[in-house]
Structure 1
Amino acid sequence: MTVLKKNAAGIVAVLLLLAGKLKWVLAIFKFAKLSTLISMLVSFGAYALLYGWKFGIALIYLLFVHEMGHLVAARRKGIATSPAVFIPFMGAVIGMKELPKNAMDEAYIAYGGPLFGLLSFLPAVPLYLWTHDPFWGMVIGLGSLLNLFNLLPVSPLDGGRIVTVLSTKIWFIGLLILIPLMIIDSSAILILIFIIGLFTWWQRVRENYELAVTNGELTVLEEVKAVYKPMEEHKGVYEPIRSAEWSGYKERMAEAYRLKRKQTQLKAEGMKSFYIPFIQDDKKKEKATLQFRKEQYDRLVNVLENEHRWSEDHQELIRIQKEIKEREKKVEKLKTYYLTTKKEKWIGLGAYLLLLVVLGGFYIFGSGIMQQTGPFIS
């Protein structure tokens, strides 16, 4: 069989494969909006210009299927997403319109990308073995490398989000792995991933402090809410009567909270401008709470000193109640988001290692072909 016939046979095989999955393909393309198409064409043009059109097609295809894996996984968890957007020389990304409920859901969504990424280049394996066309070898090597890299345990990469079911302490190990990679290849994308990963890891290790600060803010908001208690007690009272009673009450409370605001401000000004994280967290948290208390007292005194209508003042009460609910949700998430069972940990570890080993095997196979034929098949 000539090379031409082998190539033609390979193309026919791919078309038959896609035809058999036509419903799946159409379902995916329903999600592809105009932004996806435009960014895809721009990225393809950039890759094709530097590395050839075949390389460009292969990379765009692999990136697209990878992102569709995230999209399908997110939809299965009931999370709406934005269309995939391609960024030349950076890859592609989809945005979630809401955060996952817990670490297990986050890992599930993250796992969908490299899993679909593996499936995307599997057809190229028999096609290469049949035709020995170096193009299919490039698809295998490129696809396995792309998804293997994404399994590095650094957030925001997929691997970093998958290992959240085990422990976010693994993120630090991932950062250490990135350091020699940046020394070998100081590319912008590696540096960017390291910076984002470092920031994300720092946020995680500081969550206990953030929890303490949020609880402090809740205490302040509950105190301010208590000032509006007469509004809750006089809901059913005839408006002129309740407005008159509210006005008198506001005058008394304004005097009391002007004094409290002054005391809070003086105490905050007496504290240092900087405290060392971890070592001086108690003082740091105290200052943050004082500053928040001063801000809330400012708003409260402004309401108490002004002759607003009852309905306008009631809007402030609604705002405070909303802020309390938001912080209560935040506290709950900080306490429970990363909690996983032993079963979930074992499932997460097994799935992660299995995908790592399989992709690693295909990378060895594909990179061997690319060393013989060259990385770019134009």
Structure 2
Amino acid sequence: MRRQTKQARDDRWTPGALGVFFLARVKALLKFLQLGKKSGALLSMAAATAVYTWFYQWEFALGVTVMVLVHELGHVAAARHKGIPVTAPFFIPFLGALIMLKRNPRDAETEAYVALGGPLVGTIGAIVAFLIGLAADNPLFYAIAYIGFTINLINLLPIHPLDGGRIASTVTRWLWVAGAAGGLFAAIHLRSVLFFVLWALFVWDLFSKYVMHRGKPADYSVWGKIEVPFGDIPGDRWMLQTFREGGELPFRTYSDLDGHQYIDIVWEEAGAVKTVKLLEQGLIRSVVGTKVERRWQHTPKTLVLRYQIDYEPHENADYYTVPSRVRWKFGIGYGVLAVVLFVMLDIVEGLMASQGGFFHALRK
């Protein structure tokens, strides 16, 4: 009996060990092929598949990864159609995947267009998996399609940063209120702590923006540090010099053509300039040096200034202004897609129930 238990435990660890071995070989292959920036996406995709394989059979694990990939490629296609460059998808096991826009959308309509591309193409991909299962009478494809429909339906919840939250900004921002209620129900139904945290952050953001700071600007802060090696500090009496703390630092701010804002912080006493990229456009209130540290034990020895940037986020008053026909177009598309996903989920659940259920399909 002990030998059987040990053998079962070894079998459980086998997919993980194979996944680590596979990733090491894939990394070496990617380096040899010089795939550059795409290597991170391929590695994260392989890692997600390996993790899913640890818990499920490899065919289902690969199917889940493909469903997530199809969803993200929908975003990529929509963004490129609007002329917005994007990063390759990065996969996070059990959370899906994400892409980053290299330039912010100019208006809510563009943002909604890019957001809708993921669930739309993802739903088509899930329907293809369903049709394969129907044609081949293979319950495994029903399970893969079920996951695909579920992923896209959850993403349609009107909660930032989910796709539905971005689409809702074009239809009506009152959908965010519905998302606050529906998101809590989804978090309880899914029994997901991470989803609950996402919902809580969304609700707090709504409360902060439209209740606490309604009618007045909200200030945000960014912290960081400037490190200067001792040998780069001008003058020969800097060791005896007292560097000021708590004083405002000179700065200059500018934006590039892609809408990214930068700040050049000038630390005159140390002869250093540091460029900081803000996460969003904003009106800079102040840049203050909060603390100075001498790091004698480091190699090389450095002088460190910790700073704080206070700014007011800039909001384009016309960002959410869209024509009525655009609101109707996205509203109808959003509603129809949600209905299709609900119907397809019901159909797939019925087929799987007639054949023993979801987990029975994975054993086929």
TM-score, L = length of structure 2: 0.60
1:327-375 CA distance string (max 9 Å, x none): 49x9874311111111111111111011111111111111222333432
2:20 aligned with 1:37, yes or no? no
Structure 2 runs not aligned, ≥5 long: 1-34, 220-245, 252-267, 269-274, 276-280, 285-311
| Distance in 1, Cα, partners of 2:318 & 2:211 | 15
Trace 1:21-60 onto structure 2 (pairs within 5 A).
33-60=38-65
Match of 2:106 among 85, 101, 114: 101
Match of 2:85 among 76, 80, 89: 80
Q: Which has the higher strand share?
A: 2
Match of 1:118 among 109, 123, 127: 123
**Amino acid of the structure 2 residue aligned with 1:357:** V
Q: Which has the higher helix share?
A: 1
Q: Which residue of structure 1 lines up, in the alignment, with residue 287 of structure 2?
A: none
Shift of residue 207 of structure 1?
Answer: 10
Task: Return closer, same or farther for 1:213/1:360 CA change in 2, 3 Å cut-off.
Answer: closer
Trace 1:190-339 onto structure 2 (pairs within 5 A).
190-202=195-207, 204-205=209-210, 209=214, 212=217, 327=283, 333-339=315-321
Q: Which is higher, the Rg of structure 1 or of structure 2?
A: 1
Greater displacement, 117-126 / 348-357: 117-126
Q: Which fold has the larger relative contact order, with Cα–Cα distance below 8 Å and residues 6 or more apart in sequence?
A: 1
1:54-95 CA distance string (max 9 Å, x none): 221111000001001011111111111111111011111111
Q: Which residue of structure 2 lines up, in the alignment, with residue 340 of structure 1?
A: 322
Kept in 1, the 8 Å contact 2:160–2:166? The answer is yes
| Distance in 1, Cα, partners of 2:247 & 2:108 | 34
Kept in 2, the 8 Å contact 1:155–1:200? The answer is no
Kept in 2, the 8 Å contact 1:207–1:334? The answer is no
| Distance in 1, Cα, partners of 2:68 & 2:334 | 20
Match of 1:133 among 135, 138, 145: 138
1:108-150 CA distance string (max 9 Å, x none): 0000000110111222333223221101211221211111111
**Amino acid of the structure 1 residue aligned with 2:130:** V
Shift of residue 167 of structure 1?
Answer: 1.9
Task: Return closer, same or farther for 1:373/1:54 CA change in 2, 3 Å cut-off.
Answer: farther
Shift of residue 299 of structure 1?
Answer: 5.7
Task: Return closer, same or farther for 1:100/1:295 CA change in 2, 3 Å cut-off.
Answer: farther
**Amino acid of the structure 1 residue aligned with 2:336:** L
| Distance in 1, Cα, partners of 2:110 & 2:132 | 35
1:244-301 CA distance string (max 9 Å, x none): xxxxxxxxxxxxxxxxxxxxxxxxxxxxxxxxxxxxxxxxxxxxxxxxxx988x869x
3-state SS, counterpart of residue 86 of structure 1: strand
Kept in 1, the 8 Å contact 2:187–2:195? The answer is yes
1:159-194 CA distance string (max 9 Å, x none): 111111122221121111122333344312311321
| Distance in 2, Cα, partners of 1:175 & 1:148 | 16
Q: Which residue of structure 1 lines up, in the alignment, with residue 339 of structure 2?
A: 357
| Distance in 2, Cα, partners of 1:195 & 1:68 | 28
3-state SS, counterpart of residue 101 of structure 2: coil
TM-score, L = length of structure 1: 0.58
Task: Return closer, same or farther for 1:150/1:43 CA change in 2, 3 Å cut-off.
Answer: same
**Amino acid of the structure 1 residue aligned with 2:335:** L
Structure 1 runs not aligned, ≥5 long: 1-29, 215-293, 301-311, 313-318, 320-324
Q: Cα RMSD between the aligned structures?
A: 3.0
**Amino acid of the structure 1 residue aligned with 2:186:** L
Query: Deviation above 6 Å: which 4+ runs of structure 1?
Result: none
**Amino acid of the structure 2 residue aligned with 1:79:** I
| Distance in 2, Cα, partners of 1:70 & 1:206 | 32
